[in-house]
Amino acid sequence: MKKFLFHALASQAHGSYKQRMGSYQNSQYYGSYGQHMVQNVYSRINPWQSFQFRSENEFMSMFHHYSSPSLGGIQAHELCRILNEHPSIRNYYRITWSLELCRVMLAMMDRSRDGIMQYDEFSELLTCLVYWHRTFQDFDRNRSGYIEAHELHNIITNHFHYMLSPQAMTVLLKRYSRAMNDGRCLLAFDDFVNLSVRLRAYTESFRARDQYQHNGSETGTCQFTYDDFLQCTMSL
């Protein structure tokens, strides 16, 4: 029963914003990140157009070229190959994607929790990546490949619309930025993606449990057993 409960909550938390847009309204505890994604990202960004595919069918065919017919989708290794090997996608980001980051991104989108990414999950992930890249580029005005600490705070608060305390922001900076000799804290794009993926996934897992334990209401609190906590955190 406990295992079923966790997977049900995980599926709800990691599912599509399009499927859950009615349940994720503005929150005094979590912000308006869900509504923002539905209204300003998924309704405006088509990944296949961003990567200059001629049609969504061509984009889908590319995905199926890498996918396993027996599994019905791709695993982290194939996701890593797509991002690093396909010319239009590789040239769009101009970074080398690590297998570990691809595992984290797949886990964020894996609604069935089976380790397989299907096409709709892949398309949603690529939409997120395009949005995160555009946001990063807006703040990396000198095209150094980095953004600074104060810019990250602006992005998370005013662009992503999460509600985080100064203490939580400090933790994120220490975990994902690199300190420079001149005192600045800088984030590269892959660090920024890693942060964005985990922030979304952890927030949604926590929020789903909060709603479940409080009959659909939100309190900003919830309870985890040790086993549930490990399943939630170790999946990413």
Regions of the chain short of the pLDDT cut 50: 1-4, 6-15, 17, 19-23
Q: What token pair was written down for 47? A: 């990944």
**On the CB side of 203, how many CA atoms lie within 13 Å of its CA?**
21
Burial class (CB in 10 A: 0-12, 13-18, 19+), 136: buried
Question: What is the model's pLDDT at position 105?
Answer: 96
Question: What is the model's pLDDT at position 24?
Answer: 56
CB atoms within 10 A of CB 195: 20
Question: What is the model's pLDDT at position 43?
Answer: 80
Its pTM stands at 0.86
- What are the tens digits of pLDDT across the range 15-66? 454 544 444 578 888 988 877 787 778 888 999 999 999 999 999 999 999 9
Partners of residue 69 on adjacent β-strands: none
The span from the CA of 226 to the CA of 204, in Å, is 18
3-state secondary structure of 145: coil
**On the CB side of 80, how many CA atoms lie within 13 Å of its CA?**
12
Percent of the chain residues past pLDDT 90, beyond the cut: 66
3-state secondary structure of 114: coil
Which domains are seen in the chain, by residue range? Answer: 2-234 (1.10.238.10)
Partners of residue 70 on adjacent β-strands: none
